[in-house]
Amino acid sequence: MDSTILAFLIQDGVTSGAIYALLGLSLVLVFAVTRVIFIPQGEFVAYGALTLAVLDVGRIPGTLPLLMGLGIAAFVFDLASFRQSFRPQHLITSALVNLVLPAIVYGLVVTVLPMQPGPIVRALLAILIIAPMGLYIYRVAFRPLANASVLVLLITSVGVHLAMMGLGLFAFGAEGLRAQPLMRGSFSLGFLPIPAQSLWIYGATIAAMVGLYIFFERTILGKALRATAVNRLGARLVGVRTNLTGGTAFVLASTIGAISGVLIAPITTIYYDTGFLIGLKGFVAAIIGGLSSFPVTAVAAIGVGLVEAFASFFASNFKEIIVFSLLIPVLIWRSLTTDPHEDE
C-alpha cells in the first residue's frame, strides 16, 4: 500500500467519522436528556439527504406534506391534552408551532424552488423541512411516555424508526438518490486532493460542535438540558419542564440528522433505508462514549470512520461486521469496569 492510498483512506475515514461524530453526539444528547435510545436518528439523515436530492431536480419532496401531517398530528395531541387543563395562551402557542410553522416552511419551499436556487439554499431548505419533525415526533410518540422505563422508550423508539422508514419509502420510493455537491472541485493538500464537499463536512461538523458547546455552556436553556441530564428531579424543582428539554433535545437531534444527510447526500447514494446503518455507526461511537461523554464519542466516531475506511479497502465484504465488532471489546470492558448497582 503506498502513501497515496493511505492518505486517501485516512481522508475518507475522517470524512465519514465526522458525520458519525455528529450523530453520536446527538444520540448522547437525546439519551442524557430524555433517556430515549434514539434509533430513528438515521432516518433523519436519510430524510435530509433524499429531500435535498429531490429539491436538486426542482421537485417538491414528499417530506414536505409529511411535515404538515406530523404538525397536524402534534396539534391534535395538544388539543386532546387541553381537555385536562385549558389556557388560551397554550392553544395559540400550539397552533403557531404545529400548524403555522410547517405552513411557513411549505410556503417558503414552493415560492423559492421555482426560482432555481443555488445548492446552498437548497440544502438550507432541506434542513428546514426536516428539523421541525423532531419536535412533532417527540410530541406524538415520546412526550406521553415521559415517565416510562428506558425499555418502553426503546421499544417506542424502534416503532418510530420502522414508521419513519415506511414513510420514507412512501415519500421517496425504493430508488437510491444522490444530490449535487454543495461545491464542485477539490483542493490539494500536498499530493492529496481533498474534495470541496469533504471540506464542507469538516467545516459543518466543527461549526455544529462549537455551536453545541456554546449552547450548553453559555445559554440558560442549554444549561437546563445539562441539568435535566444530571438530576431530573432537581431540574423540575427549579421549574424546568420535561416537555421543554425533551422537545429541544429532539429538535437538535433532527437538525443534526438533517445536516448530516445534506452533507453526505452528494458523496453516497442514499436509499429510504440507508439511514439506519449510518445511525448505527454513530451509535457505536456513542456506546463507546458510554452514552454520556461527548468528547469520547467524538473521538470514537473518527475511529469508527477510519476502521470502516480501511476495512472497506482490505476486506470490503466484512466492512460492517468489522465496524460493529468494535463494540464487543468495549462492552466487555464496560461490563467489567462499571458497577451494575450504580444507578436505576
Partner 1 sequence: MTAPLLQLKDIRVSYGRAEVVHGISLEVASGSIVSVIGANGAGKTTLLNATMGVIPSSGTILYRGTPVPHSVEGRVQAGMCLVPERRELFTTMSVEDNLALGGFLRTADERRETLEDVYKRFPRLKERRTQIAGTLSGGERQMLALGRALMSRPKLLLLDEPSLGLAPKIVAEILGIVSELRSTGVSILLVEQNARAALEISDEAYLVELGEVRRSGKAAQMAADPELVESYLGGGH
Residues lying near partner 1 in the complex (CB under 8 A) are found at 85, 220, 223-224, 226-227, 230-231, 233-241
Q: How many helices (H) and strands (E) does the chain have?
A: 16, 2
C-alpha span between 202 and 22 (Å, rounded): 11
Closest to partner 1 by CB, 91 vs 194, is 91
Nearest Cα neighbor of 323 from 337, 340, 343, 303 is 303
Closest to partner 1 by CB, 193 vs 222, is 222
Closest to partner 1 by CB, 185 vs 239, is 239
DSSP state of 180: P
- Nearest-approach distance from CB 248 to partner 1, in angstroms: 13
- Nearest-approach distance from CB 333 to partner 1, in angstroms: 23
Q: Which residue has the cell 443534526?
A: 256
Closest to partner 1 by CB, 84 vs 188, is 84
- Nearest-approach distance from CB 230 to partner 1, in angstroms: 5
CB 11 within 8 A of CB 199: no
C-alpha span between 244 and 249 (Å, rounded): 9
- Nearest-approach distance from CB 88 to partner 1, in angstroms: 17
Closest to partner 1 by CB, 58 vs 144, is 144
- Nearest-approach distance from CB 232 to partner 1, in angstroms: 9
- Nearest-approach distance from CB 237 to partner 1, in angstroms: 6
The one-letter amino acid at 22: L
CB 103 within 8 A of CB 68: yes
C-alpha span between 106 and 259 (Å, rounded): 19
Set of cell numbers at residue 229: 441530564
Closest to partner 1 by CB, 85 vs 111, is 85
What's the distance, Cα to Cα, between the start and end of the chain in Å? 50
